[in-house]
Amino acid sequence: MKWTMGLLLGASLLLSLAHAKEWTWEYKPLKASYSIYSGELGEREAPSATDRKLAVEITGTAAKEMFDSMAPDFHPSCSQAKGDRDRRKGKVYCTLHSGEGYRCFIGINLRTGESISGATC
């Protein structure tokens, strides 16, 4: 039994090392749009000297990778359309909508550096 466990552990370690060698640290291109504003997401105003927030919408491959990393789906979904899905973790919000593809939203309070929501439902 100990031999079998050792063999399984060794095989698992080798697979982990092989997989780790495939991954490399690199920045990849990002398709995104942003808005700098003040106020709240639902009532955005022009940025002011004391209130500046950044909302970022990420699309394309990066949004798909983010969405896939955030399982499980969040229920209820913002959309009631069949096949539409939402995922949320903390202040990060991603969607998959028919015809629109993957979209993820993040936000940053530029005065405090605090992470904030980047979109509303």
- What's the angle, vertex CA 53, arms to CA 100 and CA 41, rounded to 5? 55
- Per domain, the residue ranges of the chain are 30-116
Q: How far is CA 30 from CA 37, 62, 76, in A?
A: 22, 6, 29
Distance of alpha carbon 104 from alpha carbon 71, whole angstroms: 14
Distance of alpha carbon 97 from alpha carbon 84, whole angstroms: 5
The pLDDT of residue 79 is 84
The pLDDT of residue 57 is 97
The pLDDT of residue 110 is 97
The pLDDT profile of the chain, 121 residues, written as one tens digit per residue, is 454 444 444 445 445 545 556 888 999 999 999 999 999 988 899 999 999 999 999 999 999 999 999 999 998 788 888 889 999 999 999 999 988 899 999 999 999 999 999 998 7
